[in-house]
Structure 1
């Protein structure tokens, strides 16, 4: 198989990769890879197999980076991320195949869902799709991973309405390998952040920008920017602000417009710092608007319920072969493209070819054409300068940001309103600046801003205060509440206490007390319940059975009869001992059982003066025996002496010796 044949996506159906993964059918094909449905024959598990293009398989640098990125992606365990199971290189006679084994998802892509919903998603649905997308990206950002290619084709919608993000790390592996040069950007042009276009750098805020563009597209049914070429679209990312979605869909609330605006600021420092922060803002807006989460629609057509996997990112085509981006919303997949990065400070791109030296007349014609081009450019530049000056001096209205740092929030808002500006407030704790005072503004004092623009204000919440923690709160909830106010929870088990009403493992109180103002990151100690305090087994020795059982139940125990034995010092049916022993300390978890040992002692009756026959009946009724020594046997003899003596405690079956006359 030649490289040209392999790069065009020749099918591997029927092949066995690394003698484990059977390739069953083709799912999708693109420039960087081809995706197949397959089977892990070792685990008998359906999988998706992404086989990278031959130009990458032969690049040792790419293979090393691909393996490293795959290992990192495999460590991402999140319900909204397509799982990576394995990666490898299959060495065969036809060449090497670098591949990735992933979770197989049944459903469709977000692109398909937008089309199925009439070209755009209702706001509640868009919010319900965006939340798991940001949750997945947030998990990656916490693991120091950046997606770099967030787009509708990389968001999968399962047949159960689940939303999953795919293809973490693949663009980075290709971008950093030897297959692309330092002047080439890999990504999908409709979703590239300005910093990716200008410098090639990408961090969590680049994913936030791309997610904001995807959110815009869900709401409006079209990308934020379109143009005649990929380069013109990239230029707009760098130089234009994303328009509010309400320009196309008037019913979209201003709060959603502002959310899109904040996520797609051209300056990365003015965006949410991560997808997690973006998700927090999205949830806040959803709550403010009273929009409840809704179920994400399942794929609408049978064709789209076939097995899917992370869609294929297109390969690394030459820059001049980038397909034009028409001024209509794309309905097909948006491919990951390779494009030449504009030089610093110059967003034009020049392409040249090498040809044979021209003849003399040809040189003259070219020189003449160049002269015309130069004069044309000069005229256009002069016109732009004149137009810009006119705009700056009169047509465009700019104002200077006034000084608001150090003012109270209300006064700062009033100052901005006087300058025809609007303040967008975020609040944060501060150890030195009083609550309600402005800490900083962005843009800063003296900056020129278009009239009617927005200035981001950071307002102090003052020192964080220990939050109110109700008795019985779980440790996890208490720790979360403390972290939310920028304090540090601490739990020292040696300080835990017994409590009669707070269950074991729940919080009793905190130290310092709620409401105490502390410096940021100061420790707050959780005092946790060890459950009810231990109770001593009461002394019931010598008590009757009924009295002992009542006493033990009143102390919180569950008494039961644990047998009988002889004790000459304890009356029958009275308590000899308990198990656990009297005085033992027990925790009242549930109702501890206490065994009660009773005495079986029999008290010897007085037989003196009792006729022999009657005495025998009394003794037998008590479980004792009677031995009588008679003198001068006669009828109606009476007992005149006995041993043991009356009142003695003896074991059952003991013989009483008596003398009768």
Structure 2
């Protein structure tokens, strides 16, 4: 259907599909709301413009689109039901058509326009659903080539659990094996989301879809795409020559792990990105798990009742959503460069116009041909038409003002104010304040740190604005003695401090059971900075019992005493002990007073000392017998059997000597 052609509303295609009202129109096709009369279900019908019906290249492209999209059966992909050619009006007016699922809702573009930057959990949830759809396509050997908010539909489920995310317009997908069939001189896609390799070489791959989805996630987190410009070429140039900045540059507070994943997904080198949508989705799920964020319900964009049938090629929707069906618009090169679709519209750009390190050149768009200007309808009453025209212009003006700026306000700057003053200022901007508290190293307690979204951001009238009030610097918590380590860690983390364990810091305690907390360092009540470490001191239980003194005891008495004290005594050997009778303890190893933590074994040494008996006045044979029985020898052995008496001995009686010591005897006569 050209601009001068009448609407096809009311037509019956292939004797089955009734065409109702127009939803969207592009340079190559139009999309209608319709009904499958055989199954009595609402559908979206994409009808190729009649001027292309006899162009074999366009027809082949249309059929490829249908076959590619129909292969995908996934809850997050807009389903393709049927494809065909209607010849009911004769061969000259035959029309190619595609029958698709009708999604009741809006697009991600609508959601971003209405809310600005999305909350992190919501952005992650939408991105995971988009990547799930793309992973299904990549698994079939297909690439999308035109991932953008206009092609992400959010439909109603018919319940309160939130909307369902669906990816549409797989009109640019190509089997990987035949990706080179596209003209090498034309860039197809939307410049705000094009990967560098699509711009420079036309290469379309799974990693190109990863790049586009990374840009999509960047826009959800920040409310805007990373690159803008006066012309499409200037935007394409930046994709080729600049590195995408971290989302946190525009929106501080985005978790570093998510920041890093967006940067890796949008690397200019394709090999540095996740290999495909499935790999990207797995990494994003890991990041969400690390952040402790569960998937959230996706809100369906709100649409005024009077806009219920307004669906445009750029993807803005009323009640029913349609993707950017104008996926492969072919236009003269100079028109493509300055297309009014802008960086967000799907375009065909001459690839030679953009290269690395080559600045983009802006050119003017030629005026539209006169054939496309509306025809005059004849004369009517001038005054009536002027009045009606003024009313329409006024209504359009009010509508444009309302939808483009009238219902939006800037979030006021309240940092540094007291809580009450900040709430009053937010209410004055026709927004709803919600106060929350957080620790801060430098902002005094009770003073506003900032807002979420940040000051200067655009917000819908009545939107909830979070006012973050400082609780001051963290304070080391007072952990009661006897608390568990887990309880201490939770209390420390609640103060935004980092719990730490150090076995060398643990102590013995008679009062605190082993394994329970004794105290923390630094001492409770001390101020600290966010993230500072706090060491948890844990009880090692009662101090160990020292080895008791058993010196001088008999061996058996010593063994009993050590066993009663909880030790395991063993015979360590004999040694000379001055003044210690044979068989009695000289020492232990470990020594008396030592403490043992693990090994409780204690060696016991006993004395082998002998007390020298007195043999003074004894006849020689009797003296030698007494010394021998005591384990001693004598120098007077040669005098045995003689009549002689001992008049002196050395060592003296009562001395302690080692076994076998010789005693010198003095005899007479």
Q: Which has the larger radius of gyration?
A: 2
